[in-house]
Structure 1
Amino acid sequence: MPHDANQTIRTWYIDPDAEDRMADGHAPIWRHLIDLMVERDLSEKTVLDFGCNQGGLLRHLHAIRPFRKALGVDIAEDSIAKADALKGNLPLQYQVGAKLEGWDEEFDLAISHEVIYLIPDIDAHASDIWRALKPGGVYYAVTGCHTDNPLWPKWRELVARRTNTVVQDRSITDYARCFSKAGFEVSGRKLEYDGFIPFVEDGWTPDFADALEYYTGTKIMFRLVKRAA
């Protein structure tokens, strides 16, 4: 995300077609991370997707574990427009931006997928999510873009060159400390994607072995619980 948390962009990727390719590639990962969520019955729950892009994760979540209603937020204006156009009759609402003002203690569940590594002020983000969650609410933050990733030096260059965003350098422990400081009960696990991983030469994984290791060992999922008072 840009340095100004209130600033918006038109698209995440400089190549606009990359948005659709990214959504197609993420779909199996979304289904896997949904399966890892401890919360099974979301029928009466309110959900937040922070950095929702074109809304694909929320549509997958509703198809697998229907929820009462959800909000998707993103700083990319064209992505939010596409998400809104694709929502159909689903109980989804979208807004452009990165701040969660006016949503205090609104959500039972929050999710972000490959977003936190782009947030300039991660402490402010942690505080925003804390305020937006109900007591006992849970935030699942998923990322493989951290400095413990051996591919990170190459990836940060690719992100800077291919996207309209500003990359941040943080380790897994940096994230854990930040969310703990905000008051969350912090735990995490490797994503350990167990499906077949396609061989794609797109520059992100120079070696197929890198792709296999990334999705099974490098990509992690935080479970962050807002302790009830």
Structure 2
Amino acid sequence: MVTQLINTWTREPLEESGMTAEHTWIWREMISAIDEQDLSGQKVLDFGCNQGGFLRLLYDQRPFASGVGVDLAQKAVDIAEARKDGRPIDYRATSDLAELGEIFDLAFSHEVIYLIEDLARHAEQIASVLKPGSNYYAVTCCHKDSPLWASWRPRIQAFSNINVPDHGVADIAGAFRAHGFDVAVSRFLASALVPLEGPNDYFQSDVERLDCYANWKLMFRMRRL
């Protein structure tokens, strides 16, 4: 991951501002898929929180003691702070989890891990802030094992303000195993109801969209040993 802060993630403001609405149904599926049920005493981290929607939804569905969302994009963090509406969440612009000075019971990222250049550093940082026995859930369909990635990667790079690496499942799993995690993965949207929106820049058809979400949208569960 780049170490400097950035203003926004993308060169296309409408795409960035639309991510909350686009991802909410997936976030609901993420919440229903995790092992943890009662979060009332837990401190939660969202790595790459963007405009903060995931932690807000998580708190509304399964209230937690406190949450921290971190992101490189300062404008996104400012929006997240403005929208937290009294929830016990702190959004911060940082590239270094050590700056938080906190230890967490649970961590998440959604469509962030594929943008992290140095997976080993990311795994090391997550290990440093996560309690032993706790889980980090990282969800992505952007990986080189997906047949769509060859066309997606240049599309994403065209509007991204950072470089887009070329990671596969083995790269992600290997980095975390090397830093003391037990790694498991599921095709977690295989049975989900998928909104059908017709062709767009990423999917040539709704059938292609269904195939992607059923087979290539993956939830990694990294459990710190």
TM above 0.5, yes or no, is yes
TM-score (norm 1): 0.94
| Equivalent position of 2:169 in the other structure | 172
SS at match of 1:108: strand
Give me the whole-angstrom Cα distance separating, in 2, the residues matched to 1:137 and 1:101.
Answer: 18
Contact map agreement 2:183 2:222 (CA 8 A) in 1: yes
| Equivalent position of 1:204 in the other structure | 202
Matched, 1:31 2:28: yes
Tell me the alpha carbon deviations over residues 17-74 of structure 1, each in whole angstroms, 9 at most, x when there is no partner. Answer: 2122121110000000110000000000000000000000000100111100000000
| Equivalent position of 1:214 in the other structure | 212
Tell me the alpha carbon deviations over residues 161-210 of structure 1, each in whole angstroms, 9 at most, x when there is no partner. Answer: 12212111111111111110111011110122511322243301122221
SS at match of 2:154: helix
2:115 to 113, 118, 125: 118
TM-score (norm 2): 0.96
Give me the whole-angstrom Cα distance separating, in 2, the residues matched to 1:20 and 1:102.
Answer: 27
Tell me the alpha carbon deviations over residues 65-100 of structure 1, each in whole angstroms, 9 at most, x when there is no partner. Answer: 110000000001110000000001000001112210
| Equivalent position of 1:142 in the other structure | 139
Give me the whole-angstrom Cα distance separating, in 2, the residues matched to 1:214 and 1:167.
Answer: 20
Aligned residue identity for 2:147: P
| Equivalent position of 1:62 in the other structure | 59
* Greater Cα offset, 67-76 or 161-170: 161-170
| Runs of 5+ consecutive residues of structure 2 not aligned to the other structure | none
Contact map agreement 1:104 1:131 (CA 8 A) in 2: no
| Runs of 5+ consecutive residues of structure 1 not aligned to the other structure | none
1:1-229 alignment, distance < 5 Å = 1=1, 5-103=2-100, 106-192=103-189, 194-227=192-225
Give me the whole-angstrom Cα distance separating, in 1, the residues matched to 2:62 and 2:56.
Answer: 10
Give me the whole-angstrom Cα distance separating, in 2, the residues matched to 1:23 and 1:164.
Answer: 19
Aligned residue identity for 2:224: K
* Greater Cα offset, 143-152 or 197-206: 197-206
Give the drift of 1:103: 4.1
Aligned residue identity for 1:93: D
Aligned residue identity for 1:144: C
Give me the whole-angstrom Cα distance separating, in 1, the residues matched to 2:86 and 2:200.
Answer: 35
Contact map agreement 2:198 2:205 (CA 8 A) in 1: no
Aligned residue identity for 1:58: L
* Greater Cα offset, 191-200 or 109-118: 191-200
SS at match of 1:215: helix
Write out the 4+ residue segments of structure 1 that deviate beyond 6 Å after TM superposition.
Answer: none
Aligned residue identity for 1:206: Q
CA RMSD of the aligned region, Å?
1.3
Overall identity of the aligned pairs, in %: 41
* Greater Cα offset, 65-74 or 163-172: 163-172
Give the drift of 1:6: 2.2
Query: Number of residue pairs matched?
Result: 224
Give the drift of 1:105: 6.1
